[in-house]
Amino acid sequence: MMTTATDRADAFHRRADEILAHLESTGQLKHLQMIEGPMDATITLRDYGEVVCLCSNNYLGLANHPEVRQAGIDAIEQYGAGTASVRFICGTFTPHETLEQRLADFYGVEAAYTFTSCWNANEALFPTLCEPEDCIISDELNHASIIDAVRLTTTIKKGIRKAVYKHNDLNDLETKLRAARGDEQVTGAIWVVTDGVFSMEGDLADLPKMRALCDKYGALLVVDDSHGTGVMGDTGRGTHEHFGMKGSQIDFITGTLGKALGGGAGGYIAGPKRGIDLLVQRGRPTLFSNALPVTVAASADKAIEILMNEPQRMQRLRDNVAHARQGIKDAGFDVLDSPTAICPIIVHDTARAIAMSKRLLEMGVFVIGFGYPVVPEGEARLRVQISAAHERHHLDALFNCLKKLRN
C-alpha cells in the first residue's frame, strides 16, 4: 500500500520518539547542565549551586581572565558583532590577521588560518588538500572530527585510499604505510593523521617515531593538538614540544581555540604557506561559511599572548596534574598514566560511571562520566580534567568525594 506524505512525516516523529525513549530507558540520555556564570575552577550550576569544575578544557584558566575578557569587549566595540559575510567576500577583520600571524609564530611555521571550530578546520583540511590519488592513514582513536573529515574526503573525492591503524601501534602504522607505498592506485601523497593528546585516554601520540616513519615512507604528518596546545611542552607549544620537536617538523597542526587558548570557540590550521593558500582558495568551509567572531579572535590572541608571557601557568598545570593523579590513586581508583591534563578513571560499566558522576555532583564536584558509544563497551570512565586555575583545596575536594564513593 502507498504511504501518504503525512504517514512519512509521522514515521519520522515516531522514530525520533523511539530513539529518545531508548536513550532515556538505558540511562544514556544526556542532560545539559546550565552554568550561571563564567567558567573557572568553580562554577555555578543551576539546581546545584557552586561546584568544583573538573570537566572543562579550560586548562590554563584563561576563559575568565580579565585581559581575555577585555580583549573581546574592545573588539566588539571597535568592530561590532561581525561582517555578515564570508571572509573572501568582505569578512576579514584585522584581529583575524593578527591572530593568524600569532598562531604561525607560536608554532614556528609559515602560516595559519582560522575557522569557527577545529571540527571545521579538520573538515577543511583533508577534503581540500587531498586528491584522488592520495591515501590517508588514521589512528583508530582519533577524534570524531578527523574520522568524519576522512569519511567526507573519501566520499567526495572518489579513489582516495583510507587505512586505520590500531591505536598508537607503530608497527601497524608501518604496515599501513608500506601497503600504501606498494599500492599502484596511490600515486599521490600519503597522509598520516593523529591526535597529539587523545581526548578520551589522555595518552600521547609518539610523534618522533611517527615523524621517522613518515620520512621513511615519504608521508605527510598531520597532528590535531587540541588537547596538547597550551598543555604540553615547557612553553605550551604542544605535544611536539613535549618530545623536543619543532612545530615545523609536523606538516600540518590543527587545533582549537575552545580549550586552553581562551575557551571561546574556533579552530585553526598551521603549516606551510602553500597549504594554507590552497585552503583559502579552495576550502569549502573557508569559501562558504563566516569567519570566527571578531570578539573570539581578539580574546584568543590575548590568551596566546598571556600563555607566552606566563610559562608559570604551564608549570602550575603540570604540578596540579601530578598531584591529582597521585590523589586519585590514593583514593583507591585506577587512573590512566600520562603527563597530560586528562585523567580518566576507568570504572568499566556505563551505568556505574553515570551514577558516580551524579553522586559526585551532588557532593559539589563536577566530573563527567563517559560510556559506550563515546568509548568502547566495557571501558566506561570518569574523565577528570585538571586546570592551572585549580587550587589544592579544589583537588582535595575531589579526593575526599572519591574516597566517600569508595566506602
Ligand X SMILES: Cc1ncc(COP(=O)(O)O)c(C=O)c1O
Residue whose CB is less far from ligand X, 236 or 267: 267
Tell me the residue number closest to ligand X, measured at CB.
117
Residue 3 burial (10 A CB sphere; 0-12, 13-18, 19+): exposed
Residue whose CB is less far from ligand X, 124 or 347: 124
Residues 44, 350: Cα–Cα separation, whole Å: 26
Site string for ligand X, 111-150 (x = CB under 6 A): ------xxx-----------------------x-x-----
Write down the least CB distance from residue 146 to ligand X, Å.
7
**191 scored as a contact of ligand X (CB under 6 A):** no
Distance of CA 100 to the CA centre of its chain: 19
DSSP letter at 132?
Answer: T
Residue whose CB is less far from ligand X, 382 or 401: 382
Considering 227, 302, 390, 394, which one is annotated as catalytic? 227
- Could you confirm whether 209 is annotated as catalytic? no
Q: How many residues bind ligand X (CB under 6 A)?
A: 13
Residues 126, 336: Cα–Cα separation, whole Å: 31
Buried b / exposed e over 337-358, threshold 16 CB at 10 Å, is: ebebbbbbbbbeebeebbebbe
Residue whose CB is less far from ligand X, 8 or 30: 30
**385 scored as a contact of ligand X (CB under 6 A):** no
Pair 264, 234: CB distance under 8 Å: no
Residue whose CB is less far from ligand X, 146 or 402: 146
- Could you confirm whether 394 is annotated as catalytic? no
Which residue intervals of 94-206 are DSSP H helices? 94-107, 118-129, 144-156, 170-182
DSSP letter at 243?
Answer: T
Write down the least CB distance from residue 61 to ligand X, Å.
18
Considering 259, 302, 390, 394, which one is annotated as catalytic? 259
Residue whose CB is less far from ligand X, 145 or 350: 145
Residue with the three cell numbers 585516554: 201
**227 scored as a contact of ligand X (CB under 6 A):** yes
Write down the least CB distance from residue 344 to ligand X, Å.
14
Write down the least CB distance from residue 152 to ligand X, Å.
15
Write down the least CB distance from residue 17 to ligand X, Å.
29
Residue 196 phi, psi dihedral angles, 5° rounding: -80, -55
**267 scored as a contact of ligand X (CB under 6 A):** yes
**268 scored as a contact of ligand X (CB under 6 A):** no
- Could you confirm whether 240 is annotated as catalytic? no
| Cβ neighbours of residue 389 closer than 8 Å, sequence gap 6 or more | 40, 41, 58, 60, 61
Residue 100 phi, psi dihedral angles, 5° rounding: -65, -40
The angle at the Cα of 55, spanning 51 to 58, to the nearest 5 degrees, equals 100
Write down the least CB distance from residue 265 to ligand X, Å.
6
Considering 117, 199, 226, 357, which one is annotated as catalytic? 199
Site string for ligand X, 35-74 (x = CB under 6 A): ----------------------------------------
Write down the least CB distance from residue 162 to ligand X, Å.
18
Residue with the three cell numbers 569549502: 284
Buried b / exposed e over 237-259, threshold 16 CB at 10 Å, is: bbbbbbbebebebbbbbbbbbbb
Residues 393, 382: Cα–Cα separation, whole Å: 20
Which position among 114, 199, 239, 350 is part of the footprint of ligand X (CB under 6 A)?
Answer: 199
Residue whose CB is less far from ligand X, 13 or 30: 30
Site string for ligand X, 152-171 (x = CB under 6 A): --------------------
| Cβ neighbours of residue 387 closer than 8 Å, sequence gap 6 or more | 41, 53, 56, 58, 59, 60, 61, 317, 320, 341
Q: Which residues bind ligand X (CB under 6 A)?
A: 117-119, 143, 145, 195, 199, 224, 226-227, 256, 258, 267
Active site residues: 199, 227, 259
